[in-house]
Amino acid sequence: MLNKLKNTVLDSQIKKSIFRVGIPNTDRKRVLIVLGNVFLHLHPTKVRTSGVKLRYTWCAGGLSFFLFLVLTLTGVLLMFYYRPTVEGAYVDMLDIRSQVPFGIMRELHRWSAHAMVIMVMVHMFRVFMTGSYKPPREFNWAIGVILLVLTFLLSFTGYLLPWDQLAIWAITVGSNMAKATPLMGAGGPFADFLQIGGVPLVHPGDDARFMLIGAKELGGTTLLRFYVLHCVGIPLIAAVLMAVHFWRIRKDGGISGPL
């Protein structure tokens, strides 16, 4: 009876439509299961044996990606409760902590962000120390450097969102650096030289900092801008570059190992 039920389930059209390949107990099936699944297809069907040894790779790149996924998930959940306004942001932080069941979502998000920054740095360290940027992997290293910068920017834009003292002063310092951009920031070297008949072209109301924070002083516009960059802008760019990064790993000779 039980056996019959088991066979019915395992042989059902539903099961077979989802899992094309049975239990991967032959080499053929091991190939098919990786090729047939869009997520596993990130990997080739076989990799260098040295590539799966933890002491060579430290799994740092994989964990960075995993942390990115965790951050996406927890970030989307936080978006249900968070309002990017001067009045709402701080209150919502308190509510997420005390009024929402499983009130550790913000903690998960913040600590994952810290962990991701560390993991990306460790990954870069490992790649350098094994010389894995050498030909033919030069271009992928460059992509990786941009991804490192994007990781910093993601974390930095997220830092403002709680709208507490920690947030605004970190962003004050950060955004004032934009003001010092040569030629493009109102306080930067040679910005005064850009003027037509005494009318300045670069001034606090129209410079790199203004573009970043949307006003002359940090405020609601800044919060909204950073929110959009944090939740949509930078993650999109990062996701596209990650796709390139992963694809090039395969095309440039597979997971790190002597070529």
Q: Which residue has the tokens 């001034």?
A: 203
Question: What binding mask, one character per residue, do residues 41-70 give for other proteins by CB under 8 A, x or -?
Answer: --xxxxxxxxxxxxxx-xx--xx--xx--x
Distance separating alpha carbons of residues 152 and 85, to the nearest angstrom:
23
| Segment interacting with other proteins (CB under 8 A) among 6-14, 76-84, 211-219, 234-242 | 211-219
Strand partners for 6: none
Q: Rule CB under 8 A: say whether 172 interacts with other proteins.
A: yes
- Is residue 136 reached through a cis peptide bond, with omega within 30 degrees of 0 on the bond before it? yes
Residue type, 64: S
Q: How far is the CB of 1 from other proteins (least distance, A)?
A: 32
Q: Rule CB under 8 A: say whether 181 interacts with other proteins.
A: yes
Q: Rule CB under 8 A: say whether 257 interacts with other proteins.
A: yes
**Cβ atoms of 64 and 52 closer than 8 Å:** no
Closer CB to other proteins, 5 or 129, in the complex: 129
Distance separating alpha carbons of residues 86 and 210, to the nearest angstrom:
18
248 closest CA partner among 165, 160, 144, 168: 144
Burial bucket for residue 37 (CB in 10 Å: 0-12, 13-18, 19+): middle
| 206 three-class SS | strand
Closer CB to other proteins, 6 or 53, in the complex: 53
Tokens of 53: 């040894």
Q: Rule CB under 8 A: say whether 40 interacts with other proteins.
A: yes
Site for other proteins in 93-112 (CB under 8 A): 93-94, 97, 104, 106-112
**Cβ atoms of 113 and 238 closer than 8 Å:** no
Q: Rule CB under 8 A: say whether 161 interacts with other proteins.
A: no
Closer CB to other proteins, 72 or 176, in the complex: 176
Q: Rule CB under 8 A: say whether 174 interacts with other proteins.
A: yes
**Cβ atoms of 88 and 108 closer than 8 Å:** no
Q: Rule CB under 8 A: say whether 27 interacts with other proteins.
A: yes
Closer CB to other proteins, 10 or 145, in the complex: 145
Q: Rule CB under 8 A: say whether 88 interacts with other proteins.
A: no
| Segment interacting with other proteins (CB under 8 A) among 9-17, 76-84, 187-195, 238-246 | 187-195
Site for other proteins in 109-138 (CB under 8 A): 109-112, 114-115, 117-118, 121-122, 125-126, 128-135, 137-138
